[in-house]
């Protein structure tokens, strides 16, 4: 997952039929079938790759491999994912793929509602030839443990970021964390990301810069997936992902701090 992780609707329109490209729609089946989808996209609903394994909300490795294979995705496939919620569910699909070693990953900028405004849609289910998918775990992982997160709250040049809504943060957050609601970087009108400089400015306003070690958490590692993808797009080199998130933190009886973020 590199700085080309975010792709425009125009790019998807040109490349969606290319050999080796699979467009993945992570909405529910009724939306995919009933409302329509990007022509040629396969449907891998969020529920089918969410949880059930031993590592946070990741699916078991063999189930993940079978799921991708049955949708015609091989280890070298270029994956483009989308949803209808500004990309947050699709981002979780992409981060799951990354954690299981897939490399060529992209998020449609905007979502299906935005796509529908100017692009062809379809209700036809594509013929898919199943392939074998083999997981190869990456040598380096952005995952951090609960103890690493606790240490990060005290470390210099490190910022722990809560990507939930301000009300949730105010109720209780990891001590020392700043609050940056993942939706802050989304343009409500285009449904895609705000301009790059604006996004960088929003992050910088919270102390998140390319020089900082950034540790992300939310409740169950869904919303941080979007922020993680955006930080990869910006090329920030040191971003950690707390898969256990607040669910694990609370279950472990770790301390919480209440109150709003002082930066608003
Ligand atoms: O997005 S979430 O994991 O905090 S529910």
Do the Cβ atoms of 92 and 46 come closer than 8 Å?
A: yes
List the alpha helices (DSSP H) in 71-182: 88-99, 112-118, 146-152, 166-171
In the chain, count of helices (H) and strands (E)? 10, 9
Mutate to test the pocket of ligand 1, among 88, 168, 219 (most ligand atoms within 8 A of CB): 219
Bridge partners of residue 108, in order along the sequence: 7
pLDDT score of 191 = 95
Count of residues in the chain: 264
Pocket residues: Cβ below 6 A from ligand 1: 164, 218-223
Residue 9 CA, distance from chain mean position: 18
Parallel, antiparallel or unpaired: strands 158-162 and 213-217: parallel
- In this predicted model, what pLDDT tens digit does every residue of 66-85 receive, in sequence order? 999 999 999 999 999 999 99
Mutate to test the pocket of ligand 1, among 161, 221, 225 (most ligand atoms within 8 A of CB): 221
- Which atom of ligand 1 has the smallest separation from the CA of 223? 1
pLDDT by residue, tens only, the chain of 264 residues:
888 999 999 999 999 999 999 999 999 999 999 999 999 999 999 999 997 766 778 999 999 999 999 999 999 999 999 999 999 999 999 999 999 999 999 999 999 999 999 999 999 999 999 999 999 999 999 999 999 999 999 999 999 999 999 999 999 999 999 999 999 999 999 999 999 999 999 999 999 999 999 999 999 999 999 999 999 999 999 999 999 999 999 999 999 999 998 775
pLDDT score of 218 = 97
CA 234, CA 24: separation in Å to the nearest integer? 23
pLDDT score of 3 = 87
User: How much is the ipTM here?
Assistant: 0.91
**Phi, psi (rounded to 5 degrees) for 126:** -70, 150
Do the Cβ atoms of 170 and 260 come closer than 8 Å?
A: yes
**All structural domains of the chain:** 6-116 (3.40.250.10), 146-251 (3.40.250.10)
- Which atom of ligand 1 has the smallest separation from the CA of 246? 4
> Of all protein residues, whose CA lies closest to atom 3 belonging to ligand 1?
220
């Amino acid at each position: 997952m590199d700085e080309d992780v975010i792709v425009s609707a125009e790019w998807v329109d040109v490349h969606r039929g290319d050999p080796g490209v699979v467009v993945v729609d992570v909405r529910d089946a009724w939306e995919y079938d009933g409302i329509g989808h990007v022509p040629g996209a396969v449907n891998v609903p969020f529920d089918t790759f969410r949880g059930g394994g031993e590592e946070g909300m990741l699916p078991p490795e063999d189930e993940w491999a079978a799921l991708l294979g049955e949708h015609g995705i091989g280890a070298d496939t270029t994956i483009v994912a989308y949803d209808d919620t500004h990309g947050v569910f699709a981002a979780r699909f992409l981060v799951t793929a990354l954690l299981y070693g897939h490399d060529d990953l992209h998020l449609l900028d905007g979502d299906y509602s935005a796509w529908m405004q100017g692009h062809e849609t379809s209700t036809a289910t594509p013929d898919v030839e199943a392939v074998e998918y083999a997981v190869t775990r990456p040598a380096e992982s952005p995952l951090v443990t609960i103890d690493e997160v606790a240490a990060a709250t005290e470390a210099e040049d490190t910022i722990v970021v809560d990507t939930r809504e301000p009300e949730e943060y105010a109720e209780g957050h990891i001590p020392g964390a700043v609050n940056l609601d993942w939706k802050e970087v989304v343009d409500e009108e285009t449904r895609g990301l705000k301009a790059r400089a604006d996004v960088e400015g929003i992050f910088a306003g919270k102390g998140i810069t390319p020089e900082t070690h950034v540790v992300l958490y939310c409740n169950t590692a869904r919303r941080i997936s979007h922020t993680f993808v955006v930080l990869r797009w910006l090329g920030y080199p040191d971003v950690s992902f707390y898969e256990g998130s607040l669910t694990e933190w609370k279950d472990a009886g770790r301390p919480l701090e209440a109150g709003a973020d002082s930066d608003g």
